[in-house]
Structure 1
């Protein structure tokens, strides 16, 4: 069967791999350029039906859509790589429009800056600002039915999918090559003709989820230092079981991603200042949250964790222990 469209994904991390598998299962051809990436990334690509191409120019030539799913710090550089590659095609460009979806955890300000790069360097590329809310797509064990204990019905789709909100002047549903189908497969929703709202929505959501995880990191670590971690866990699990489950899952899944979240928290801080009006001394709480994740990533053994090879931080107790060790070592260096 002929493929519906070709989608370039940059890059093939945990989320990128999940989306690649979802698209391949729905008859899309997925390509990427992983030159210079880690062996883990090369292994992920080899184990899936993802075609690896040698250059960004090859990706641009082949792809109908490019999804940028990189650490926030790399979002601008990735966009610049693609505009350079597109310019190398010459004055004729491509016979069909190329859509570029920036799905990175960045602020509306950063999204607008990236949009300006495309407008200036490659105006023929149709740019969309986007944000992913939820974990990587995965094939569900079985289709689910409506959950009668919740106000939110569960999906009957065979894949567990995050929500992908996009904004900009070019809705996916209007794209000439399988656009409406791609929008449905990705569980995507176009929410605005402006650049910025989709990234802003992502930042506001992550404020609550990853902000809460940072609070739990500090609470569990301090309780462990005081010798009352078990008592704290008992009180939270008894009085707020939903929060306890969310906190436990967040803290134990966080270590391999902490390095990415440092910049994401900084982007969230910019979002709340620029678009929320939370400016001035004492208002930028997410700069402090960024420092929590920087401590995890750069001052503890948790920063060495890889998703494929977890060793430390798989329990709340071990996260607290590793944090305690790292903070104690930092204090001794200062003294």
Structure 2
């Protein structure tokens, strides 16, 4: 899921009243919210339930600071499946809501990133806490705590795959072996008459999928025919196993969208979640004003949630430019009998407009 779907914004009007009325050690709470937001049953995603608690005059012994806590609330799915803990990464920020007459903008005053916490339901409440989120002096720089101010708390959840960092030592030797046909002992043949050569031991060490294939269906074979698969996408998978990197990175060519789609499907089949993450980060570079609507419609009609979410996120980030462009007109015309895709796009774009930029 993209950043927009994994973001919750808590708007707090007249914050000065909470500072005045709520004592040190006491809190008030946001509405309960699901993450990711607006996911549908057909997507097969099990959303998690959360609630934020804000201490306007601090807690945990923090004087003149605002404290915050995030509570994990057990869902019916977690109860029925006896799931007793939940691990999550997130970043959180606090800022001011500014009235610019024609629109409301949100500007961060403080951001906290790189947070990782394990929520244990066997030891309630299952919460993460930060006793010094921000000082009250940063909210009221002139010292007047009765001055009217509207604030917001924004929290974004981060998929664990997104935090993947390449281990240089791990790939140092295998990266040099990529493309070197000396000592290769397996050959993959494709319908396009292309050949990809590789080393069994490197593939088996880097992928459970290949290890099982070499021990089973491909055991003893020196040549394997790969059908109904793009040789370029397959080569991108091999390249990732050797190097930990994404092939064609930084090209930004629209032709690569289809290759990225196939690479993602192969990565999904082979359980290469880190490669899926790299593809998700790279694919938007190949989208542009002339093709985003085409790929959004493909993702929608083929029920390819991965592709659809990437294009929706991309279009939402560029909504100011796209909302009056030819792409949206083409999309409305092509999806005249499937207006749900338009409604979802507008909903995501509106959510993006409400967010502060990290």
Query: TM-score surpassing 0.5?
Result: no
Which of 1 and 2 has greater Rg?
A: 2
Structure showing the higher strand proportion among its residues? 2
The interval holding the TM-score normalised by the smaller chain is: under 0.3
Give the structure-2-normalised TM-score.
Answer: 0.23
